[in-house]
Structures are given as C-alpha cells and as structure tokens.
Amino acid sequence: MVVEKDGLECNCGRKGCFEKYASMKAFKNNLRKALGYDENFSGKELLALIKNIKKEDENYKIINKIKQEYIEYLAIGLANLINIFEPEVIGIGGSFVYFEDVLLDDLKKEIISKNMLFNKRKELNIQTAVLGNEAGIIGAVL
C-alpha cells in the first residue's frame, strides 16, 4: 500500500510503500540515524531513551519529530485499511508491542483528531498482540 507518492524505494519494486514509513524497522532506523547511532543500538535502548527523555534534553525535539512522522504514516495506512474493511478491531504485533506505552495513545489520537475515519460512528479499537513479538515463533511451534 503506497502512502507517499514518489517516496522511498521499496524492496517490492514500488515507491512510497507503507512498510518503508510505518514499520517498526523504519521507525527504529530513522531514530538511530537522526541520533547518530548505528544498528548496534538496540530497540530496547531506543525505547529507554524515548521513555526517559526530558523536554530540556537536546534530543527531545529530534525524537518527537521522528515519532510524530512515524505516527502520521502509521495512522494514514491504518485509516486506509479501516475505511476499506471496517474491522471490529485492529491488532498490531511485532516490536510495536514493546513501544505501546509511547506510541499507541498518540496513534489513536492522530486518527481521531485528523478525522481520518469515514464511518464516524465506529469506535476505534486498536490493540497490541498479547503474545508480543513472539507470536510467530509460538505459532510455528504449536
């Protein structure tokens, strides 16, 4: 699903794909790049940084800008899907689950405040996967 016309090149051969902007991989890589860290700076470390950042810290604005961009793209993509399929609930898995505290409320606010949903009567129900990032592994074992 394209969310950005003439956007970043994707492995699928198209440009501006949802995945290039709204995946956790993209979010974490954008944070690392903007903050000057390499790929050895883990997702866990990034999460700790986001949770502990204070308004007066020099990286506060950078982190919030990257976070806001990520939220905007994720909101656009999810709103597209919600408007087409009208699901009762959206379940987000993967490493987003670990970042739920710093992302989920902002994501819901973005979709609601920007009036992205066609059907205004529907409640917006977005939840994170209870098995977290291990769902695929657990499913494979079962």
Contacting positions for Zn ion (CB under 5 A) = 10, 12, 14, 17
Question: For Zn ion, which is the closer residue by CB, 1 or 137?
Answer: 1
**Shortest distance in whole angstroms from residue 16 CB to Zn ion:** 8
**Please, which residues have CB within 8 angstroms of residue 71's CB and are 6 or more apart in sequence?**
103, 106, 107, 110
**Shortest distance in whole angstroms from residue 11 CB to Zn ion:** 6
**Shortest distance in whole angstroms from residue 57 CB to Zn ion:** 35
Q: How far apart are CA 79 and CA 139, in angstroms?
A: 28
- Write out the E strands in the chain: 90-92, 126-128
**Shortest distance in whole angstroms from residue 82 CB to Zn ion:** 20
Beta bridge partners of 117: none
DSSP of 3-42: -STT--B-TTS-BSBHHHHHSHHHHHHHHHHHHT--TTS-
Question: For Zn ion, which is the closer residue by CB, 14 or 61?
Answer: 14
Q: How far apart are CA 37 and CA 93, in angstroms?
A: 25
Question: For Zn ion, which is the closer residue by CB, 10 or 35?
Answer: 10
Question: For Zn ion, which is the closer residue by CB, 14 or 114?
Answer: 14
